[in-house]
């Protein structure tokens, strides 16, 4: 029996990164107030926590897409700053 594995995704910045790791990095970089300004969802505005955010984002694909895109943008900005 042959086992097939999904192809490696070296160009995908989200490959192998958990949603919890993404949220932890975004919170550390932006803080809850700025996250709430950038992505208007209640889990960032009212009594925010990583746990409540994860629960919401796992159930809400459009919000998760926005969070993942913000994470990718943050990584690009950090890389640009490092190159300067």
User: At the topology level of CATH, where does 19-83 sit?
Assistant: 1.10.720
For 7-39, what is each residue's pLDDT tens digit? Answer: 666 678 888 899 999 999 999 999 999 999 999
Three-state DSSP string of 17-57 = CCHHHHHHHHHHHHHHHHHHHHCCCHHHHCCCCHHHHHHHH
Closest Cα to residue 58, out of 43, 37, 72? 43
- Above pLDDT 90, what percent of the chain? 73
Spatial distance between the Cα atoms of 41 and 35, rounded to a whole number of angstroms: 9
Tokens for 11, please give them: 């160009």
**Average model confidence (pLDDT) for the chain?**
90
* Domain residue ranges of the chain, discontinuous segments joined by +: 19-83
Q: Which residue has the higher pLDDT, 2 or 41?
A: 41
């Amino acid at each position: 029996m042959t086992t097939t594995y999904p192809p490696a995704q070296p160009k995908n910045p989200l490959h192998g990164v958990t949603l919890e790791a993404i949220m932890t990095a975004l919170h550390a970089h932006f803080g809850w107030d700025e996250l709430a300004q950038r992505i208007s969802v209640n889990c960032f505005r009212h009594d925010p926590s990583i746990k409540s955010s994860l629960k919401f984002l796992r159930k809400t694909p459009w919000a998760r897409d926005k969070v993942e895109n913000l994470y990718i943008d943050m990584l690009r900005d950090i890389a640009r700053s490092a190159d300067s």
